[in-house]
Structure 1
Amino acid sequence: MPRAIIVGGGIAGLASGIAFANAGWDVTVLERAPRIEPMGAALSLWPNACAAIARLGILGAVAAAAAPIRQMLLATKDGATILSRPLPDTALLATRTALQNALLVALGPDRLRLGCEVAALAPGRVTLANGELLACDLIVDAGGIRAPSNTDVPPVYAGYGGVLALSGRVAGPGLGGVAAEYWGRHQRFGLFELPGNRRYWFLMRTQPAATAMPDLAACAAAAEGWPSPVCEAIVATAPDALIPFAVHAKPPPKTLCAPGIIRVGDAAHAMEPNLGQGACQGLEDAAALQAIAAAATPAQVAHHYDRLRLKRARMFVRESALGRLGAQGPAAAQFVMRAVLRSIPAALSEPRLRAMHTMPDYAARLR
């Protein structure tokens, strides 16, 4: 039985562990934290990500704790529609903790080693900080944007950041499954529905890297004059629920692999959040690896993985960077992007959006 070692117990790492286990490999996921704790806010799982977790066998578990996304809405600060699209295929808004828990259950505790600090990676060998050597047929680096096998190109600050949060129960009506993003000038709010009439929301704004992130009162002040559901979500949020973030990313990757190592998630393709595809692409990585690992020898996995995933991953990194222009770009770029999105015929936009939201049949592409 071939053996894979996954370095990193985040979303992409846990999903990759499940993928190799499903393919009949012996798997160990190494996580440096002493325990897996609730973390983060929420993730939009677009149809391609839902297809990926269905392949991994956890769609039912994730859906049970998530809210459906039935429509995408992009609008201006005053609520005027820029782009609206119904989602006929399954899409979900899940807390990061709920997705993490579903992944942990599917992986199983025997395949996860906590408190493991990795000192070095080499083909077929992982060296831990305590000197322990672990041998394997394949290493999967899921170590995030500063992954140990991918330090050649450092992450770069994208020029914007803000806060995100999970609210308590909102007093107003539900959102009807609408996932909305509202664009102002150098500022935007995102708003998504969670079970129990709670909200996941974020504020992004153009700012220098060292700028202090806003507190709840500053978010409420910034939301004045924006659509009322934004203000309602902020009112229902506890002051200590805000999670600050500054957006960093890397350019499109030239490869998803290093000698004896393959990369998944942000270790492979760290992108800006403008398409909501960061975690989705990590889940697609895992679905592709499951198909490859079930059909190929350990020596062939990296070749097939790059062949099946590199072009699509590069596209998402590139398109995610362009997506900032609508709210974080120069004034002229904001005007042009909004005008284009409003005027582009559905006959042209729909195939493009559908291609993004449709996970390729990786198993068929291996044949």
Structure 2
Amino acid sequence: MRAVVTGGGIVGLTTGIALRRAGFDVVVHERAPEIRAAGAGLGLWANALAVLDDLGVGDQVRAIGKPSEMRFHDPSGTLLETPGYDDRDHRYLLVHRARLLDVLADAVGRDSIRLDSGFEAYEEHDDHVTARFTGGTTERADVLVGADGAYSSVRAQLVPGADVREHDGHHAWRAVIPATGLTVPEDRLVVGDRRSRGGYVRTYDGHVYWLLNQFGSAPPTGSRKQEALDRVVHLQGDGPGSLLADLISATPEEQILHNQIMLVPPLPYWVSSRVALAGDSAHAMSPHITAGATLGIEDAALLGDLLTPGGDVPAALAAYEADRMPRYAQVARLSAEVEHAPTPQEFARAYVAFSHWMMAERVTA
């Protein structure tokens, strides 16, 4: 049996690995001319690492990551305690997106990846689906997985009108830079004033990943660097002259990433008989819970578990949807509790409550 995956990002490549492991002939189509990262660092939680272990790439991923902990401080520098939770609820692996994509692309097999091949449309039949790509290429498959991100072209056909939308007033700035000339003795994340959060985390290879985001922000009008520096003061303890400000100042303008955060609205369904959505194409969410990649990897694992050569594809996709949609409804509720926490202490508690719940119900392939 044959599977076509659209999107050569983390979820698309992991889906390719999972379906190949399940026994499918797999091809991954990527619109860009190369496999490339749209972002800087990301966190992988224990449930994602369990999937990657099962798919045979866990050791390679750990080799390019740094074990870290998601713990927050208030603006005075005081650690925000979370009684009732243990260290496991805080631990994650910090990896660089580009290096992770290289590991996943190698595992899929570079000869199974079609670059410069954007999805255009599909035609669904009782016993197969035909997908059309730029340049006139067509693929006949038993199943099509749309893992093509928040602006998914597959979703546009499967669920018309479910366009990505702005998370109003939510902006993020971040970068990964060498720690040259700056001493970074520890990782530090701060929940600040005016609904701001930011900090820095050391990576496995001597670099530093810094980030800053704000809910309810006025529209940015200045340079990326200046907009980030303007918000550092909201973190107080990391105000002007602080290490975070120094890291931002040391970052070349062109290396700073700025995003207006975008969300996919709740969808009425994720699948048809032979087409399924996975990752951000189904549920792009705010990065303030640092779980988008982890949850998308779970999607890939479940597809690989349910879809089997010779099996009933429509039934497998229906089972996938029945599992995923209630889980993401709960993700949305817990994410909102974190976002709207009125104090730094309540933010920290809501965050660890989310991570504890997410890992307690983890999925493996």
* Category of TM-score, reference length = shorter chain: 0.7 to 0.9
Partner amino acid, structure 1, of 2:106: V
Distance (Å, rounded) in 2 between the aligned partners of 1:266 and 1:39: 13
- Partner residue, 1:329: none
* Residue of structure 2 aligned with 1:325, choices 340, 344, 355: 340
Partner of 2:73: 75
Counterpart residue type for residue 45 of structure 1: L
The residue identity in structure 1 corresponding to 2:50 is: A
Structure 1 runs not aligned, ≥5 long: 327-333
What pairs with 1:317-356 in structure 2 (closer than 5 Å)? 317-326=332-341, 334-335=342-343, 338=344, 340=346, 353-356=355-358
Q: Give the structure 2 partner of residue 172 of structure 1.
A: 183
SS in 2 for 1:162: strand
Q: Do 2:22 and 2:307's aligned partners in 1 also have CA atoms closer than 8 Å? A: yes
Identify the range of structure 1 (124-133 vs 226-235) with the bigger mean alpha-carbon deviation. 226-235
Structure 1 distance, partners of 2:265, 2:176, is 30
1:266 aligned residue: 280
Contact map agreement 1:163 1:213 (CA 8 A) in 2: no
Q: CA deviation at 1:116?
A: 1.1
1:233 aligns to 2:247 (yes or no): yes
In 2, the alpha carbon distance for the partners of 1:58 and 1:356 equals: 22
Q: Which of 42-51 and 75-84 deviates more?
A: 75-84
Tell whether the 8 Å contact from 1:169 to 1:236 is kept in structure 2 after alignment.
Answer: no
Q: How does 1:1-367 map to 2 (within 5 A)?
A: 2-69=1-68, 71-84=69-82, 87-88=87-88, 91-123=92-124, 124-151=129-156, 152-158=161-167, 159-169=169-179, 171-175=182-186, 178=187, 180-206=189-215, 210-212=219-221, 214-224=223-233, 225-227=236-238, 228-294=242-308, 296-326=311-341, 334-335=342-343, 338=344, 340=346, 353-361=355-363
Residue identity in the other structure for 1:174 = P
Q: CA deviation at 1:305?
A: 0.9
2:136 alignment partner, SS class? coil
In 2, Cα distance between equivalents of 1:138 and 1:353: 32
SS of equivalent residue, structure 1 residue 54: helix
Please, which moves more after superposition, 260-269 or 154-163? 154-163
Over 3 Å counting, the alpha-carbon distance change for 1:80 and 1:251 in structure 2 is: farther
Q: 1:202 to 1:109 in 2, by over 3 A?
A: same
Q: TM-score, normalised by structure 1?
A: 0.84
Aligned length: 346
Shift of residue 173 of structure 1?
4.0
Q: Cα RMSD between the aligned structures?
A: 2.7
Do 1:8 and 1:30's aligned partners in 2 also have CA atoms closer than 8 Å? yes
- Higher mean C-alpha displacement, 264-273 vs 312-321: 312-321
CA distance in 2, matches of 1:219, 1:362: 38
Render the CA deviation track for 1:49-75: whole Å, top value 9, x for unaligned. Answer: 212222222111111111111x32122
Question: In the superposition, relative to structure 1, how do residues 309 and 213 fare at CA in structure 2: closer, same or farther (>3 Å)?
Answer: farther
Cα separation, 2, equivalents of 1:28 and 1:359 = 30
Quickly say closer, same or farther: Cα 1:341–1:127, change in 2 above 3 A: closer
**2:19–2:303 contact (8 Å) kept in structure 1:** yes
Structure 2 residues not aligned, in runs of 5+? none
- Is the alpha carbon distance of 1:287 and 1:133 closer, same or farther for their aligned partners in structure 2, counting shifts above 3 Å? same
| Pair 1:349–1:323, CA change in 2 (3 A) | closer
Partners of 1:42 and 1:226 in 2: CA distance: 23
Tell me which moved more, 302-311 or 286-295. Answer: 286-295
Cα distance in structure 2, aligned partners of 1:20 and 1:121: 20
Whether contact under 8 Å (1:162, 1:213) holds in the other structure is no
Corresponding residue number in structure 2 for 1:331: none
Alpha carbons 1:47, 1:91 under 8 Å: kept: yes
Task: Give the aligned residue type for 2:214.
Answer: R
Q: Residues 350, 222 of structure 1: CA spacing in aligned structure 2 closer, same or farther, 3 A cutoff? A: closer
Relative distance call for 1:232 and 1:285 in structure 2 (3 A) is same
Q: Deviations over 1:95-148 (max 9, x none)?
A: 100111110110111210111122212221101233332110000001111212
Does the aligned pair in 2 maintain the 1:4–1:27 contact within 8 Å?
yes
Go from structure 1 to structure 2 and tell me whether the alpha carbon gap of 1:5 and 1:209 turns closer, same or farther (over 3 Å shift). Answer: farther
Contact map agreement 1:19 1:56 (CA 8 A) in 2: yes
